[in-house]
A and B are shown apart, each in its own frame.
Chain A
């Protein structure tokens, strides 16, 4: 079966750096997405990786290794507003999106 694993919850300190990992086993691969979802709000798109390497977008970066079935989302200079759930999703060979259960990130002062 298809599976995406990410930690259920993480805690980090304001101003620090945190890395949220995502490992996947899917039928084929056509890209990996990260979404951010604040409590009670809509998930919003953060990043997309289809080739190996690091994609940087401001304080957020996303890394992909297709050979390892692995990605991470790196958040720098953490702010309180970064407290949210982060969802990893992989598009398989049929272009279906397979979702992880999300990682709840708690930022402490």
Chain B
């Protein structure tokens, strides 16, 4: 199994839909992250979880709602998104909260119509 798995790989949704992105890591890491990647822009950190507790929320709009039910799984619940939210959403994990090497999933490509 690959280290960090994200589903779905592609998602198209309307502005009134509710959908969720899922991330699973098989590395036994303690920290998990959601990043937003837009074309020609730096990675934007959205949320950080350490041992299932949220430790950072980088001023992300409430239409994005994270959930970390256990140390291996991370969700990003999406509700009433805007077209500018269209991007690649990357999940990552690291051994500890102070990130050395990050292990990324392949991302979920989101298009909001």
Binding partners A and B: yes
Number of interface residues of A (CB under 8 A): 23
Chain B 73-113 near chain A by CB (<8 Å), digits 1 or 0: 00000000000000000100000011111111111000000
Say what secondary structure dominates the interface of chain B: loop
Q: Whole-angstrom distance from the CB of B49 to the nearest CB of chain A?
A: 15
Q: Pick from B4, B42, B98, B103: contact of A101, CB below 8 A.
A: B42
Known A8-B40, A42-B4, A100-B42; judge A48-B107 contact (CB<8 A): no
Using CB atoms, name the residue of chain A closest to B88: A40
Answer whether residue A78 sits at the interface, using C-beta atoms and an 8 A cutoff.
no
The interface residues of chain B lying within 8 Å CB-to-CB of A48 are 100-101
Q: 13 A-B residue contacts at CB 8 Å?
A: A42-B4, A42-B107, A43-B90, A43-B102, A45-B101, A45-B103, A97-B45, A97-B99, A98-B42, A99-B42, A100-B42, A101-B42, A102-B40
